[in-house]
A and B are shown apart, each in its own frame.
Chain A
């Protein structure tokens, strides 16, 4: 167990050291989300009817979507490691088996925190403000990081499954992007056709976005916060074992 913690931290450190040396990745964390926030706020914002000002409605949804995609770094990074033979090297070392993946997903938390900060900053500049106390705001931050961590495991599995970094990118995109849109992230669910509404209501994105709105804006939460936590844990429970199993079998066929 101590071995697992040490090795995980070594791998996480490695991922963070290399981050500033691949500046194009940093752009994906910073400039891209800002662009989306501005486009939604000023292009679609006027046409979408929401019970609260659109900028307040949008920011939690945008951050949830963005943090779910933070795991991309894991998918692309792991896929590169497979191709460059680094996974073979790691698997031949006396290190804890899940550490390569655990270290990856752990370092995503750091990059997710960074992109969350960028988005909140942008939001505040264009009129977003927290409507709750510090404890609830921090609880929201914790929930976001947990949700992002859960998706990092999904992306870890994708990264080991597909044949190239490019396909990791598109498979992840196709799998996650519609989920984020058929939810309460950008528009009120009530404005959708009935079939989509049914889906949106059980979509973990809706539940997590609603939980964020209640934690940051003081809206009624219902059971959303607990349901959101359970969803994140469930995603980890499914995809972490899948990813680790895939890692153990890497390069066997």
Chain B
């Protein structure tokens, strides 16, 4: 297959849990060697989508294939070519890091020797060398996630599914995880990554699909999505409410939209990040407006959702968990 052929093809995928419709007809292509970020709030259907593609769950309707292998018909072949790492860090707590990787490698059909040397290589790549011989129950949350990801990579699968790889991690561990995933991508692995965080999708994904209530509501590159959301937001707090009108006039040329004033707070979406603050300060001081505070804010998932769906990306119960209860 050529590199432009989709590594993952999904058509009309549907799945319900009792009354809850987790996926209502999803179509999606992921180009080989690229990273797709599936972005959505809790309960949007992200995990259900990944579970169907990794053969853990049968779909009610529609088709899905990975590298041309159908998730239902060719499940056994498909499993040899995928790796799965999830938000629950599925590793055995009573085994050491190395023992976990060797076990998974052998279950992929590798010899003990090959699995051991691959395991050591991954442990050193993922900064877990010192912990290789310690039981996983002594690991921190970030270390477990890295080991979980390493386990998905033991057999060097060409397609990787990462289900919310950084959910629940502290900021430092999250950055570490991002660095690891970025290295991976540079090696040409096709990755489908689910996330609730726009900045994560922004940093890691070549293209982003936004999912809500089991439907894809937008697809595109991070820039395309941001254009639809309106890019960065500049927030200016004025010394006095009276300056609001002058501030709106002064800032208007920086944006395609009219700045909005609420009391002493003026908000405006801006086209670009670099130089924005300097330009805003200059314009405001030229207009004689006194500024108390001024900040650039990146658009959040809430901004994306607000713009695309008209509702916020509120927390909702996961339909799978709701159906199981």
Contacts and interface: CB of A to CB of B under 8 A. Distances in A.
A86 interface: yes
Contact of B92 (A86, A91, A92): A86
A94 interface: yes
Nearest to B76: A94
A88 interface: yes
Interface of B: 17, 51, 54-58, 76, 79-80, 82, 84, 86, 88-95, 99, 103-104, 106-109, 135, 151, 323-324
B94 A21 contact: yes
Contact of A253 (B94, B135, B324): B324
Contact of A89 (B58, B135, B151): B151
Given A7-B107, A93-B79, A18 B95 contact: yes
A46 interface: no
Contacts of B88: 84-85, 88
A53 B99 CA distance: 49
A91 B55 contact: yes
Residue from the set B55, B56, B88, B107 with the largest chain A CB neighbour count within 10 Å: B107
Determine the interface band of chain A, counting residues with CB < 8 A from chain B.
Answer: 20 to 34
A17 B96 CA distance: 10
A11 to B, nearest CB: 8
Contact of B56 (A84, A86, A92, A94): A92
Given A88-B56, A93-B108, A252-B58, A14 B135 contact: no
A10 B106 contact: yes
A251 interface: yes
B79 A92 contact: yes
Interface string A213-253: 00000000000000000000000000000000000000111
Given A251-B51, A252-B58, 16 more contacts: A10-B107, A21-B94, A21-B135, A84-B93, A85-B89, A86-B92, A91-B56, A92-B54, A92-B55, A92-B79, A92-B82, A92-B84, A93-B79, A93-B107, A94-B79, A94-B80
Contacts of A10: 103, 106-107
Contacts of B106: 6, 10
B84 A88 contact: yes
Contacts of B108: 93-95
Contacts, number: 70
Interface in A5-43: 6-7, 10, 13-14, 17-18, 21-22
Contact of A90 (B76, B107, B324): B107
B103 A88 contact: no
A253 B322 CA distance: 10
Contacts of B99: 14, 17
Contacts of A22: 94
Contacts of B86: 85, 88
A30 to B, nearest CB: 19
Interface in A172-206: none
A22 B95 CA distance: 11
B325 to A, nearest CB: 10
B297 to A, nearest CB: 35
A17 B95 contact: yes
A24 to B, nearest CB: 12
Contacts of B109: 3, 94
Given A18-B95, A94-B80, A251-B51, A88 B107 contact: no
Given A93-B107, A95-B107, A251 B56 contact: yes
Contacts of A93: 79, 104, 107-108
A14 B102 CA distance: 10
B130 to A, nearest CB: 19
Contacts of A13: 103
B79 A253 contact: no
B79 A84 contact: no
Contacts of B55: 91-92
A95 B95 CA distance: 19
A17 B151 CA distance: 18
Contacts of A3: 109
B277 to A, nearest CB: 44
Contacts of B91: 86
B144 to A, nearest CB: 10
Contacts of B58: 252
